[in-house]
Amino acid sequence: MRIIDMEQIGDVINELEWLGPVEKSLDAVAETTLNQKNSFMQQVRNFLHGTWLGHPLHPVITDVPLGAWTTAAVLDLYEFASGDKKFSRGADMAVGIGLIGAAGAAVAGLNDWQFTNDKPKRVGAMHAVFNLSATAFYLASWLERRRGNRASGIANGLAGFALSLGGAWLGGHLVYQEKIGVNHAPQQLPEKFVAIMPLEELPPGKLCRARAGDVDLVLFRRGERIYALAEKCAHLGGPLAEGKIEGLSVRCPWHGSRFSLENGRVLDGPAAYDQPCLAVRVRNGLIEVRDARVSRNARRAE
């Protein structure tokens, strides 16, 4: 028996009009703090997206506040139930560590959230409301503990813990239901060379869409060389064939992720994953492609 219908929850949150101004405020904060158009800020955004990690950074950092605040809640409940204060310093420290982790998770989360749209963006705003509220309670908890008001510190901490669980649940919804942070590029590429189009139909210097079996591809021809990547952007499935060429890379038209045409490596986020790349050859005037990993392995085996 299912307790909560995940899809319905997303729809309900999407209808909450009071989240509109919250979204606008978060967008304004992201715009002024993270979204400046210079190469230094691009590197900062890349770091926060996790392009260097091959995986989004935000869910890695969220383990810090959740783990620390779970520890604090267990120690607080022990103190509350037994009156024994021997773990109170540990609980206070866990609250503080959780606050530091929450600040990092919030920055990385905001950086990812600003490049979402529609329902996932609205659900993400609700996720932020839960987590910011949890952090506010934990801040109050930490201050009360420093003032020696243990009962109030513990009460604020437990309220924050309940909110952080709500935020974590919505974070799971964003990944598993709304598919935010997962790899949207196709993973199954042809293992054997397949012909996709006559060479003469591929104009030089222009991105061109093609198809190999079930997989949409983007092709680019420069001189004798032809490059091929999966067309659906790893970030949220944007059409790379409608993107922009920058040197030997292609920039996604939806949120600006940039991938190397030579090997599919992600050069700029918000994508955190590389784009699947295909090896290309020309036989009898036809362009043929196969999964570049197969070609690499074949070269290594020779």
Q: Contact positions toward ligand FES, by CB under 6 A?
A: 115, 233, 235-238, 252, 254-257, 270-271
CB 88 within 8 A of CB 77: no
Q: Which is nearer to ligand FES, 109 or 238 (CB)?
A: 238
Q: How far is the CB of 249 from ligand FES (least distance, A)?
A: 13
Strand blocks (E) in the chain: 194-198, 208-212, 215-222, 225-230, 244-246, 249-251, 258-260, 266-268, 277-283, 286-291
Question: Shortest distance, CB of residue 271 to ligand FES, whole angstroms?
Answer: 6
Q: Judged by CB, which is closer to ligand FES: 74, or 216?
A: 216
Q: How far apart are alpha carbons 296 and 91 in whole angstroms? A: 52
Give min distance, CB of 116 to ligand FES, in A: 9
Minimum separation from the CB atom of position 171 to ligand FES (A): 19
CA distance 289 to 280: 5
3-state secondary structure of 250: strand
Minimum CB distance to ligand FES, residue 174 (Å): 15
Computed from CA positions of residues 9, 11, 12, 14, in that sequence, does the dihedral angle turn out positive or negative?
A: positive
Q: Which CB atom, from 56 or from 238, has the smaller least distance to ligand FES?
A: 238
- Compute the least distance from the CB of residue 209 to ligand FES, in Å: 15
Q: At what angle do helices 6-14 and 150-176 cross, to 10 degrees?
A: 100
Rank residues 121 and 235 by Cβ distance to ligand FES and give the closer one.
235
Q: Specify the residue, 59 or 270, whose C-beta has the smaller distance to ligand FES.
A: 270
When the beta carbons of 105 and 233 are compared against ligand FES, the nearer one is 233
**Minimum separation from the CB atom of position 114 to ligand FES (A):** 11
User: Which phi-psi region, left, alpha or beta, contains residue 273 (left: φ > 0; alpha: ψ -120 to 50)?
Assistant: beta
Which of residues 96 and 239 has its CB atom nearest to ligand FES in the complex?
239
Question: CB of residue 234 vs ligand FES: minimum separation in angstroms?
Answer: 7
Non-local CB neighbours of 15 within 8 Å, separated by 6+ positions: none
Distance CA 218, CA 251 (A): 12
Between 56 and 256, name the residue whose CB sits nearer to ligand FES: 256
In 3D space, the residue among 283, 280, 285 whose CA is nearest the CA of residue 264 turns out to be 280
Torsion from C-alpha of 283, 289, 292, 294, nearest 10 degrees: -80
Left, alpha or beta for 256 (phi > 0: left; psi -120 to 50: alpha)?
Answer: left
